[in-house]
Amino acid sequence: MLSSRTRAGQGLPAYFLVYFLLVDLLGYKNLGKEEKVAWSVPVRYQGRLYSVDHTKFGVGVFAPTHNPNARMSARPSEQAESDAGQIVLAINKAVEIAGPYFSWRAEQAASGTYLNVLNRSSNLFSRYEFFRDRFLELSDEYQRRKDEKEVTKTEHDNGATTSVLFPAAHLSQEAQWNAQAAVDAFFSWTEHVFIHLAILQGRARTGGDVAKLADSDWKSKFKAALDLSVPDTKKHYDALLELRQQIRNFMAHGAFGKRGEAFEFHSGAGAVPLLLTGKQKHKYSFTGAPAFVDEKAIAGIEHFVEHLWAEPRAPAREYIESGLPAILSYIHDGTYAKVMTSSEEMTSFLEYLMYQFDSAANMDW
């Protein structure tokens, strides 16, 4: 029971590759969990006993203490360090050779329900809030200083010149940049949060469903999370779709203009803006939808967020903002259907689940 981590063991690959290689593929015995140990696999090298363990501090090769009277583990001997190096070398070679097995294993895992879907929602929403708040601050400062001007008079031999600067012009430009970044960050967040909402509502049930939804466009993700037959939801959908189209044209396709104005057409009427429509049938137009106004775009987003987290999706907000992953097996055993019925059910469930995650992270079995 007394063993020490070898230095050479630091060269092992990821813990799951070691486990799948030794236990699943090669049939080595797993001694199971111990305090602060997730799994332990005994191995012999040149007749000498060692173990490959995944502990709270990572996977490693451990050398036993052979003194039967010892009360604490001893530092690994030179022989143990040498053996551990050879064990690590053998495992790394085997992991490389076993590549096709790992690919098959990954395909099997992805098609099942014993999966956790990582939750980055809070981080993505914080990015949106950062740019939104900066936009609002700059907009307020612009309003306070919009009438300011800085007059500089420079004397020359043959007279003087006067230059006038308006500080508010730069504030307006910077506010616009932050508004555009906020809109982009918002859509990035929705691409993620819609998938988690679909899972919590039982509309994406397997790894394959989640992967397919992740590869789909924004419209498909929205429809998987929200019901377009609800009038308010459809209204938000149409407004956001128009905003998304404009921000995509502007930021992802060369930033010619918010409405896709890429050219000016020379005519007897003067210079006429020629717009890229993004449509196959009619690629160009003189007219298009009005360009989005930064203030209205941010206000529309805020109204949608309120709508998104209204009942009956309020329990989902608690879960998603907890940072916990979505656990697909909870769809199939009815857990999510139960806890999505009320905020009280969800709060109680989250307390239990957070305790389980904390215990697992600390390997407190």
Is the per-residue pLDDT at 255 higher than 50? no
Q: Calculate mean pLDDT across residues 267-292.
A: 60
**Is residue 11 within 8 Å of 73, Cβ to Cβ?**
no
pLDDT digits (tens, 9 = 90+) for 2-45: 889 999 999 999 999 999 999 999 999 999 998 899 999 999 99
Which of 239-248, 266-275, 284-293 is the least confident region?
Answer: 284-293
Confidence of residue 151 (pLDDT cuts 50, 70, 90): confident
Instruction: Report, as an integer, the average pLDDT of 286-300.
Output: 73
Per-residue pLDDT band for 288 (boundaries 50, 70, 90) equals low
For residue 279, pLDDT beyond 60: no
Weakest-pLDDT range from 58-62, 106-110, 242-246, 281-285: 281-285
Q: Span 135-161, mean pLDDT?
A: 85
Write the pLDDT tens digit of every residue in 260-270: 555 666 777 67
**For 23-33, what is each residue's pLDDT tens digit?**
999 999 999 99
pLDDT band at 80 (very low <50, low <70, confident <90, very high): very high
Highest mean predicted confidence (pLDDT) among 141-145, 287-291, 317-321, 361-365: 317-321
pTM: 0.79
Q: What is the pLDDT of residue 281?
A: 59
Is residue 291 pLDDT above 70, yes or no? Answer: no
* Residue 150: C-alpha distances to residues 52, 146, 159, 312 (Å): 71, 12, 20, 54
pLDDT at residue 122 tops 90: yes
The pLDDT assigned to 285 comes to 58
d(C-alpha 288, C-alpha 164), whole Å: 36
Q: Is the pLDDT of residue 174 over 60?
A: yes
The pLDDT value recorded for residue 111 is 81
**Residues 301-325: pLDDT tens digits?**
999 999 999 999 999 999 999 999 9
Q: Among 154-168, 194-208, 253-267, name the one with the lowest average pLDDT.
A: 253-267
pLDDT recorded at residue 149: 83
